[in-house]
A = this chain, B = another copy of it.
Amino acid sequence: MFLALMAAATLSVGAGAARAEDGYDLWLRYRPVDGAAAVGEVTVLGDSPTLRAARAELERGLAGLRGGAPASTRAALLAGTAASPQIAALKLPLQGMGAEGYVIRSLQVDGRPTTVIAANSEVGVLYGAFHVLRLVQTRQPIGKLDIAAKPAVKLRVLNHWDNLDRSVERGYAGQSIWDWWKLPDYKDPRYVDYARANASLGINGSVLNNVNAKADSLTQPYLEKAAAVAEVLRPYGIKVYLSARFSAPKEIGGLPTADPLDPAVRAWWKAKADEIYRTIPDFGGFLVKANSEGQPGPQDYGRSHADGANMLGEALAPHGGVVMWRAFVYSHEQPEDRIKQAWSEFTPLDGKFARNVIVQVKNGPLDFQPREPFHPLFGAMPKTPLMMEFQITKEYLGFATHLVYQGPLWEEVLQADTWRGGKGSTVAKVVAAGAPGEGLTGMAGVANIGADRNWSGSHFDQANWYAFGRLAWDPNLSAAAIADEWIRMTFSNDPALVKPVGDMMAASRETMVDYMTPLGLHHIMGRSHHYGPGPWVAGGERADWTSVYYHRASPEGIGFDRMATGSNAVAQYAPQAGKALSADERFLLWFHRVPWDHRVASGRTLWDELVVRYSRGVDGVKAMRRTWAAMAPHVDAERHAEVAAYLAVQEREAQWWRDACIAYFQTFSKRPLPAGYAPPPHPVEWYEALSFPYAPGI
């Protein structure tokens, strides 16, 4: 039996064609670990596409983890829903576990030690199966399990900013994985692996197309394409959503207006919703970017965001669909501090949204910067469910070639205290609580997934996809614990690797802040492509797309005064939260305009501290390279080489950020660098003259 298994494995891949470790397997790598055989024989009760997926995953996973050894016949794994008499007989506490939770217990069943996975629904069984696999993959003991888990929020959704021509806005992992051209005729087997990876994290929704949407995505041919994707994802508990272009009634409906209060427009959307549900019976709903960065919206007709969102909600409601309405709005006709505008527009609408509408808010009030304070809306709309929007793809964080683990960034936001209901009202709690009553809750992540073989453009960017999914399930998980799991599943359980790589990941975000935007600086990257430093960016279409608007450097000092003396954006927070944030040196130049000689906590002047931090960022990348070089004995050659190559890019670009920013800001500070710090090798004009016409992701 052992030999037969090995022979089969050998034949199936061909001895001459053993595949390299190319990252395709993600964290579902299932390489042999000690103890896997102890799980025993698998029985999944019942039969359905979802239960078959659970069974297949357990068999595939455990076979890989056992490394060809047979399962123990003395132990067993039993999985099923409460509808199965065998599970019901175990009387497990499933009442409170909802439609997606599960219980995992170590029990004696028919005289054998048995790992039982029980759930109210089939997808709960699937989630439980992935949980057991994760325990085995990470070498947790499985003999005395007593686990009950359910997701903190209802909607755990990836937002694909994928265009119908298969380009991906802010994508750094190749083309869209959605091959629209060949859909619905051809369903790439890769879609199944996408579904498996997401289900392993509990992600239950996927918005297939870019928020900067084309109306074509709502035409019948494209609905059929989306339906084909939905068919593949369905067994894995993942619903398909679409970004809806607000002006679609004009563009593909032939109407003269898209006014949300116009009866013909309302009728058009109702009919469109009916058509969608005929094509995709379990369609999730719409994501909408309206009246933002040139997108059409209800304000084009003098209507509010609530008018627009509620009209769509009304069309979807009979079918159980939801509207995720983005709060990322700002207008260049509006002279107000850009970061204040979403609060100004949305807080008056608190409580005015329909029951099936949720407002989707980016983690910070600007735009996915290396560091921002949490978005003040999280403390300001108690009657409205707010969905978190994180950006998994690294638009502002060095694209795919910088190693930046975002777990700490997201943890920092989720654990920030809004004081909305008094001390301890963390963003995580606000998001999980939703609005009073039984409304929606959710978390969205802008996907970093593309057609690249390794899915995310780099091996370590897989960790960001992983961390998003884990936090969407439980926003109170620690970034460090998530990284630890991911490292073990993706690379190995060898402590010689787990600890140093975990430390490297933990430090990576702060290192990136240091070499890009220390001390509260923000939005000083290259124009349009957002690649590399661009603190000199000025002029052009709109002031709030420039760097000088945000850093305001002059011979007198630097920073954006957002206190009462300035834009007073700080007043959008609860007083205690505003006080904490504005006193935090990490946000110094976000909230304050300070002279170059201002003394910071270290005792240094602001100027000296800036130089020190930028330099520390470069040193941090050098340390990462050293750590990774030492991992060579513990990582396969192919993945080690790719990561090493990217770290070399990152070091060069960190140095470039440091040198360009110091050269630029020095033209205002007119101060020397502190002793021991090398001056930039070129004058600022040299950095300004660099151009990158073929940067990806635009």
Contact = CB atoms under 8 A, between A and B. Distances in A.
A17 B452 CA distance: 19
A11 to B, nearest CB: 7
A25 B14 CA distance: 11
Contacts of A31: 14, 17
A642 B186 contact: yes
A32 B6 contact: no
A538 to B, nearest CB: 25
Nearest to A692: B181
Contact of A16 (B22, B30, B180, B696): B30
Interface in A266-324: none
Contacts of A22: 189
Nearest to A59: B16
Interface string A21-49: 01001000111100000000000000000
A201 to B, nearest CB: 19
Contact of A15 (B9, B164, B638, B642): B9
Contacts of A65: 16
A444 B66 CA distance: 51
A63 B17 CA distance: 9
A676 interface: no
A5 interface: yes
A32 B17 contact: no
A579 B164 CA distance: 49
A401 B183 CA distance: 12
Interface stretch (A92-100, A470-478, A645-653, A663-671): A645-653
A348 interface: no
A130 to B, nearest CB: 14
A216 interface: yes
Contacts of A187: 645
Contact of A186 (B15, B181, B185, B646): B646
B15 A67 contact: yes
Given A166-B696, A695-B181, A18 B9 contact: yes
B7 A64 contact: no
A401 B182 CA distance: 8
B13 A18 contact: yes
A68 interface: yes
Interface in A395-429: 401
A61 interface: yes
Given A694-B165, A694-B180, A30 B17 contact: yes
Contacts of A63: 15-16
25 contacts: A6-B6, A6-B7, A9-B9, A9-B10, A10-B68, A11-B32, A12-B18, A14-B25, A14-B67, A15-B63, A15-B64, A15-B68, A16-B62, A16-B63, A17-B25, A17-B64, A175-B175, A181-B694, A185-B645, A185-B649, A186-B401, A186-B645, A186-B649, A187-B645, A451-B452
Instruction: Please list the 8 inter-chain residue pairs (A to B) with the smallest Cβ-Cβ separation, ordered nearest first.
Output: A16-B64, A16-B30, A186-B645, A12-B18, A164-B694, A16-B63, A9-B10, A165-B694
Given A15-B68, A19-B19, 16 more contacts: A5-B15, A6-B10, A9-B13, A13-B19, A14-B64, A15-B66, A16-B30, A17-B29, A17-B30, A22-B189, A165-B694, A185-B645, A186-B646, A187-B645, A189-B638, A216-B693
